[in-house]
Amino acid sequence: MPDFPAFAFDTVAHIVAEPGAAGRLGEHIALRFPDARRALLVTDPGFLKTGLVDAPVASLRAAGLTVALYSHVMADPPEAVVLEAVDTARAFGPDIVIGLGGGSSMDVAKLIAVLAGGGQAISAIYGIGNVKGTRLPLVQIPTTAGTGSEVTNIAIVTTGATTKMGVVAPQLYADLALLDAELTLGLPSQVSAVTGIDAMVHAIEAYTSKHKKNPLSDILAREALRLLSANLITVCENGRNLAARQAMLLGAMLAGQAFANAPVAAVHALAYPIGGMFHVPHGLSNSLVLPHVLRFNAVEAAGLYAELAEIVVPAASGSVEARAEALAVAMQQIATVTGIERTLRQIGIHESDLDQLADDAMLQTRLLGNNPRTVTRDDARAIYAAAL
């Protein structure tokens, strides 16, 4: 008999995965939220420019809803942007909030849904379980296959110049997630690569999460890695492959479900200071430290990494340690093949920056506590040095 731990598992109640679903957003909302009259759609200027916002907005109007657009979301949303978005929402008075974009837009949508109708200040909700009361109805439509934010209970905010803080609360699970790969067909190759790697990291870190690893997250993480590793290069080489794009969205969502319940760890903890200080995309900062954290963790987690290597690199053979190393190499190869940066130096980081990065990484205690191996400040610095 396998020795399963006791565990709890939460996710979004309604998920629709169907190319073209965003063009029928109005129908989906009329079906699930028949009382909704005023919809606030949250997106960023880059996605707005694609024109792909038009069909969902038209379908909302056709369904009789009044629509307002907040389209000033910035990548790695600064707190000031979140507050401006909440003010816009209060002035409009939505009875439903729709996030349409990457993790940045979906995270802002979550925070609007929580803060616009309630009396809490944003500073009061950082951390775990600090959101009080209910929120506005919330629909999430990802346009990157990356963060899985459409099914997570997390929103990440850039506070101050370089630091990131998380809001983690059950109210952040959306009511409905729509996965429509037609929205991702034009996603540039480099964005496809780094967001896809972010999703793979979510699966890998969920599978080795120290305290909340559970059988359901494990199944989701494994299937996520299967879908993501089989389709990531394909979508980078041929962005308009709809089947591969839909598979990526599904994989990113499954990884999101996995890590919402078995949280991520040192890869993300070491990635956040890089993103904060050097303003590179979230997925790229993960990718830069990933192989080095995997090698550091292998002392404790080689067995689990070897299990994942069977999915990502089925040809890997040899000892548990050799297969764990094959996983690290395979992830480095994805970075090589997709042409994204592979060293910290390539994004302008110098030896003299490593102390600051290590100091900042140690502040990510929420994440480091999930890591399979304890990370000291010296360890963090050594991992950055290996990634240089």
* Residues that bind Fe ion in the complex, under the rule CB under 5 A: 198
Closer residue to ligand NAD in complex, CB, 15/30: 15
181 contacts 242 by C-beta, under 8 angstroms: yes
* Residue with smaller CB distance to ligand NAD, 103 or 117: 103
Q: Does 269 bind ligand NAD (CB under 6 A)?
A: no
CB within 8 Å of 158: residues ≥ 6 apart:
76, 77, 78, 79, 164, 276
For position 214 contacting ligand NAD by CB under 6 A, the verdict is no
Shortest Å, Cβ 146 to Fe ion: 7
Task: By CB under 6 A, tell whether 75 contacts ligand NAD.
Answer: yes
Nearest distance in Å: CB 48, Fe ion = 23
Smallest separation (angstroms) from ligand NAD to the CB of 300: 24
Binding segment for ligand NAD (CB under 6 A), chosen from 97-105, 173-181, 336-344, 377-385, is 97-105
- Examine residue 152 and tell whether it contacts ligand NAD (CB under 6 A): yes
Please give the residues from 162 up to 191 whose contact with ligand NAD meets the rule CB under 6 A: 183-184, 186-187, 191
CB contact set of 324 (below 8 Å; sequence gap of 6+): 294, 298, 301, 302, 303, 305, 306, 309
Closer to ligand NAD by Cβ: residue 36 or 131: 131
Single out the residue of 11, 71, 140, 143 in contact with ligand NAD (rule: CB under 6 A): 143
- Could you tell me the two tokens for 46? 């880059």
Q: Which residues lie closer than 8 Å to 247 by C-beta, 6 or more apart?
A: 227, 230, 231
Q: Which of 224, 231, 299, 234 is nearest to 262 (CA)?
A: 224
- Compute the least distance from the CB of residue 104 to Fe ion, in Å: 12
Which entry of ligand NAD, Fe ion, none binds 47, CB below 5 to 8 A by partner kind? ligand NAD
Contact status, residue 327 vs residue 305, Cβ threshold 8 Å = yes
**Which of 159, 332 has the CB closer to ligand NAD?**
159
Count of residues that bind ligand NAD according to CB under 6 A: 32
Task: Name the residue type at position 32.
Answer: R
> Which DSSP string corresponds to 280-337?
--HHHHHHHHHHHHHHHHHHHHHHHHHHHHHHH-TT--SSHHHHHHHHHHHHHHHHHH
Closer of 136 and 201 to ligand NAD (Cβ): 201
- Regarding 273 and contact with ligand NAD (CB under 6 A), the answer is no
Give the C-alpha distances (Å, rounded to integers) separating 224 from 49, 73, 183, 250.
30, 28, 20, 7
Q: Which partner, Fe ion, ligand NAD, none, binds residue 182 by CB below 5 to 8 Å per kind? A: none
